Structure 1
Amino acid sequence: MFGSIVGLGGGIIIVPTLVLLGPQLTGSPIGHTTAVGTSLCALIVTALASTLSYAKKKRVDFRSGWLLFVTSGPAAMVGSALTGYLKDGSFQLVFGIFMLLMAALLVARDYIRPITRKWPVERLYTDQDGVGHVYGYAVGPALVIGFFVGLISGLFGIGGGSLFVPVMVLLFRFPPHLATATSMFVIFLSSALGSSVHIWLGEVDWRIVLALVPGAWIGGKFGAYVATRMSGRGLMWLLRITLGLLAVELIIEGAAKL
């Protein structure tokens, strides 16, 4: 639900939860590679449910989404292949620092205004109130951003929305709701490719995937429904605080294992 409302995908909550609470959830620790692979498989369901709901309301910019996927998809596969090269302690420490930065970015985006640069490709989006929004991008920067986000997505199993949405809103001036919906579409495609690598490497716990899928589907649909009826400001602060607390716990545990 969180991931669908703000376009994060949900992996940034699923992965640390599996890593930190593995023994309580399954009776044994869950390695970070399995947590990442399992998260990406669950994200496919969340992102698909959200995309279908947003598409019905014509909030998904499929053309921009496919462009971002050109590099984010292959990069997600590369990131997924690199996950196993990080030791558990190093993964928790690096992921914790990354989550802390994401929490800070989610706070900062409320105070940073979108840049006013005129981009070579310009699009017009008319919202449900009939208000027109002009946004745009350049193909080169979009492809570079897609690659970087895809790499991070595959490496940490987070989907990439925590980076996609702020960049789309602040750099390319996407309306927030359009950025969220389009991000979920890209996450669906990238998660499918990234998870295929973890499946090939045997780094997916299918029991956990099956346990996550019903909630992921319902949460993805419900989050998209809620997002159309709220600004999400209060929920965003709850998400920021949650990310901050999880990040601190991961950093402490990761540093202790080094």
Structure 2
Amino acid sequence: MTLSYIASGFAVGLLVGLTGVGGGSLMTPLLTLLFGVSPTVAVGTDLAFASTTKAAGTLVHRVRGTVRWDVVRLLCIGALPAALVATLMLKQFGALDKEIGQVIRYSIAGSVLLTVIALMFRSRMQAWVIAHPEKQLQGRKLAFATVLVGAILGTLVTISSIGAGAIGATILVLLYPRLSPAEIAGTDIAYAVPLTAIAAFGHWWLGSINWELLFSLLLGSVPGITLGSYAARAVPEKILRGLLATTLTAVAAKLVF
């Protein structure tokens, strides 16, 4: 089984490197559907996985100067308390309970569908915002919206482990359309580090992290992400995103039905 986990980590890492989509959208459903891991343990293990990989990514973006720390701070003001509250709610209702596991399963499916929407319509939404500057938020309204988005994503990530990748990046594009793609990616990864770390710590407290599984996934994902990043330019982005969106839609349907 360990070799299967390593291979899965490599496959997910390869797709993340090729497409830039957050690993949670792929890893959590994979663990639940293919390996029969309970939804809560899949979420907890993936959060620990994400906090480790995103920390490395943040260091690279920090060196390149592609992190907007003012935006990261606003997102964290909303996301970190929300993650703590969501963890306490999981504890209160029994995170490893089968009924709660089913709720989490549906939450994963919903988050996957949101990722599909972000994949397919992000460029169109960005173009619309740029074409209508009067609709763009400024000042205190922008700051409040950023904190609110952080709170929503913090809750979503803690419950489903999905949201800090494609969904978060798409919302940042809509709120801050003038940021470069590198700044969007760097900012999205940077705020996700403390968020996934706190959420992962909460799941460790709940007893929903499989450490052997985590290390196997990390062992496969590092070479996968590296190879995918190098190969990304050789594969047409539209084809990749279309295939990924179709796959994720099928995954979400399987999780529900």
TM-score grouping bracket, smaller chain normalisation: 0.7 to 0.9
Matching residue of 1:207: 212
What is the alpha-carbon distance in structure 2 between the residues aligned to residue 228 and residue 62 of structure 1?
A: 28
| 1:104 aligned residue | 117
CA RMSD across the alignment: 2.8
Residue type at the aligned position of 2:166: S
Deviation at 1:32, TM superposition (A): 1.1
- Are 2:44 and 1:37 aligned? yes
Equivalent residue letter for 1:46? T
Whether the 8 Å contact between 2:28 and 2:43 is mirrored in structure 1 is yes
Contact kept in structure 2, 1:53 and 1:224, CA below 8 Å: no
Change (3 A) 1:95 1:151: same
**Secondary structure of 1:14's aligned partner:** helix
Match of 2:26 in 1: 13
CA distance in 1, matches of 2:194, 2:236: 26
Tell me the CA shift for residue 44 of structure 1.
1.0
Deviation at 1:226, TM superposition (A): 6.3
Compute the displacement of 1:250 (Å): 0.8
TM-score, with structure 2 as normaliser: 0.78
* 106-115 or 223-232, which deviates more: 223-232
Whole-angstrom distance in 1 between the partners of 2:21 and 2:120:
14
Unaligned runs of 5+ in 1: 23-28, 122-135, 253-258
Q: Which residue is equivalent to 1:133?
A: none
Structure 1 segment 30-69 matched on structure 2, within 5 A = 30-69=37-76
Please give the per-residue CA displacement for 1:75-107, whole angstroms capped at 9, x wherever unaligned.
123334444275333332342233223312321
In structure 2, the partner of 1:153 is 157
Identity %: 25
* Residues 103-142 of structure 1: pairs in structure 2 closer than 5 A: 103-112=116-125, 113-115=127-129, 116-117=133-134, 119-120=137-138, 138-142=142-146
Whole-Å Cα distance in 2 between the matches of residues 181 and 230 of structure 1?
Answer: 22
Looking at structure 2, the residues matched to 238 and 197 of structure 1 have their Cα atoms a distance apart, in angstroms, of 34
The structure with the greater share of residues assigned to strand is 1
Structure 1 residues 100-140: Cα deviation after superposition (integer angstroms, max 9, x where no partner): 2331232122322252245445xxxxxxxxxxxxxx98211
TM-score of the pair, normalised by structure 1:
0.78
- Report the Cα distance in structure 2 between the residues aligned to 1:184 and 1:4, rounded to whole angstroms: 14
How many correspondences in the alignment? 232
With over 3 angstroms needed to count, the CA separation of the structure-2 counterparts of 1:39 and 1:64, relative to structure 1, is: same
Give, in whole Å, the separation in 2 of the partners of 1:250 and 1:12.
12
How big is the shift at 1:225?
Answer: 6.0
1:57 is displaced (CA, Å) by: 2.5
The alpha-carbon distance between structure 1 residues 68 and 190, as it changes in their structure 2 partners (threshold 3 A), is same
**Could you say if the C-alpha distance between residues 15 and 167 of structure 1 is closer, same or farther in structure 2, counting changes exceeding 3 Å?**
same
Which deviates the most, 71-80 or 142-151?
A: 71-80
Secondary structure at the aligned position of 1:111 is classed as helix
Structure 2, gaps ≥5 residues long: 1-12
Q: 1:5 to 1:141 in 2, by over 3 A?
A: farther
The residue identity in structure 1 corresponding to 2:174 is L
| Aligned mates of 2:176, 2:162 — CA distance in 1 | 22
As a proportion of its length, which structure holds more helix? 2
Instruction: Give the match for residue 125 of structure 1.
Output: none
